[in-house]
A and B are shown apart, each in its own frame.
Chain A
């Protein structure tokens, strides 16, 4: 049986170095890739650190176009088989950098995309932000957000039980199932391939 290589793109909005947001993102990516491998699918993981593109994201907001590396990042994200999106929670919700990045993504380009959400925060009091703010954002973009979203508070990184790791594994399995169930994306080099013939435009006018 031939296996297709699937691409998971991890977008992490952590700011510090090292970043617990990145730590969570890597765990989610590893769990997803493991689960995909069990299902017989090789996986390539690409990580995007939004901090590296922070200025370019704001420039794109101001000029209306993404340039250079950021344009490549956007192509990677929209062309992925699945996305893992992880943001720190700032002042009750995802970070401004994370939202700014989402704002410059073509809103129609993520339809049907399997998405796994993660967030980090100081205490578990903020964990529901994943479901009341981050999930609706991705639902609006008509992505397929998997049921388990993973929140990691500072305490989770020193916890005796393996609750965080269990959640990570479950979320990874859910994303893997969603990715495996999707056909591999058909590559198209023609950006205007969907443009209707003018006779159809005239007819519909």
Chain B
């Protein structure tokens, strides 16, 4: 199982000091956080995408492209890439470029975005959220898998003889996740293509997460990509850790009480009981997160939100160290021991594995699934285009 961190990139006043970083400082803190996570040995860094204050992450591939150059091992990803309001042509270009620049050390996660005004700012209508996600992603896949695309749809200027460059690394597009909290249509989309599905359950009770993941798994099997337990699943999470659990609660409570999204609402204790938020010792995090596989089945990626609500950079870096040193090794041992079978993927597919799968499939003359390219068995783009 991979363990990583994802950032929403919020600029929030530290409630304990009254200090607010400016945008430049916040962007730089994200750069530092990602590099620190890489050095500490975490598996994934993912950035959100937002187009409104107080968030600074408007340009994910710029940030991730820089990080590709200054990190060594960490997988660079998004949480999420707005498939609704971005032009799928630009997404095809930017993420293929990131794939090449990072040597395939990246994947990305599609999301719709839930900020109403962002849709009209980018010429769209939030009521078309699902149809936009469906059409844009179908086009994005064609741009990655077919060298020359003729296309006409409902939301975008038609394309005649268009080639998206650079072509994907080794002819194999990046692995794609789909993130959704409420919409089964998106779980169905992920299942249809054999893509990954991440349920960002940080604000949701586990029984809801369980239902969504089960639905995705059933549909993954239905669409012929493998058994339900072989589907690629990710979960969100949120922790604040100190060696001593009372210290963690005392230090985090002032941030929790006024945090964006849930502040001024339920108590820290109630919210911790109802959602995956765990504020306490490393062992408490291990116990709680080690049990999620019992709810959703063995899954491949666990992400943690650790850098929001005005927490100072120094604290965030300490959280990364605690995760990497005190939590992840033991948590990984516990959850990986619960993997039901050897043919249940241990991790999400790497670029090298996808290339190998694509070559094997093309040697075996595999037929295509879905609309022309199977992400799991794979086929080289050039061959599809002919």
A residues neighboring B (CB under 8 Å):
58-59, 62-65, 67-68, 71, 191-192, 195-199, 201-202, 204-205
Contact = CB atoms under 8 A, between A and B. Distances in A.
A192 B186 CA distance: 12
Contacts of A191: 184, 211
Contacts of A67: 205, 266, 270, 274
Given A62-B265, A191-B184, A201-B130, 5 more contacts: A59-B266, A67-B270, A192-B215, A198-B188, A205-B138
A95 B201 CA distance: 33
Given A58-B265, A59-B270, A195 B154 contact: no
B265 A59 contact: yes
12 contacts: A62-B266, A63-B261, A63-B271, A65-B274, A67-B266, A192-B211, A196-B185, A196-B188, A201-B134, A202-B371, A204-B131, A205-B135
Nearest to B154: A205
Contacts of A198: 134, 188-189, 191-192, 223
Chain B contact residues: over half helix, strand or loop, or mixed? helix
Contact of B274 (A58, A68, A195, A202): A68
B189 A65 contact: no
A6 to B, nearest CB: 27
Contacts of B261: 63
B386 interface: no
Nearest to A66: B205
Contacts of A71: 205
B204 interface: yes
B208 interface: yes
Nearest to B261: A63
A115 B249 CA distance: 46
A7 to B, nearest CB: 22
A63 B205 CA distance: 11
B204 A201 contact: no
Interface of B: 130-131, 134-135, 138, 153-154, 184-185, 187-189, 191-192, 203-205, 208, 211-212, 215, 223, 261-266, 270-271, 274, 371
Contacts of B188: 195-198, 201
A192 B266 contact: no
B173 to A, nearest CB: 18
B136 to A, nearest CB: 9
B204 A65 contact: yes
A202 B205 contact: no
Given A195-B185, A195-B188, A205 B131 contact: yes
A198 to B, nearest CB: 4
A198 B130 CA distance: 11
B175 to A, nearest CB: 19
Given A195-B185, A198-B192, A202-B134, A65 B205 contact: yes
A26 B263 CA distance: 37
A47 B191 CA distance: 42
Contacts of B270: 59, 67
B142 to A, nearest CB: 12
Nearest to B128: A205
B135 A62 contact: no
A104 B207 CA distance: 19
B211 A62 contact: no
B131 A62 contact: no
A191 B207 CA distance: 12
A13 to B, nearest CB: 21
A12 B248 CA distance: 41
Contacts of A202: 134, 138, 371
B265 A65 contact: no
A201 B130 CA distance: 9
A77 to B, nearest CB: 18
Contacts of A68: 274
A65 B209 CA distance: 12
Nearest to A199: B192
A63 B153 contact: no
A202 B223 CA distance: 14
Contacts of B130: 201
A63 B185 contact: no
| Closest 8 pairs between A and B when the two form their complex, measured CB to CB | A62-B265, A198-B192, A192-B184, A205-B135, A195-B184, A205-B134, A59-B266, A67-B274
B134 A65 contact: no
A38 B192 CA distance: 52
Contacts of A196: 185, 188
Contacts of A205: 131, 134-135, 138, 153-154
A64 B208 CA distance: 13
A201 B204 CA distance: 26
Given A59-B266, A195-B215, A205-B154, A64 B184 contact: no
Contacts of B211: 191-192
Contacts of B154: 205
Contact of A62 (B204, B215, B262, B274): B262
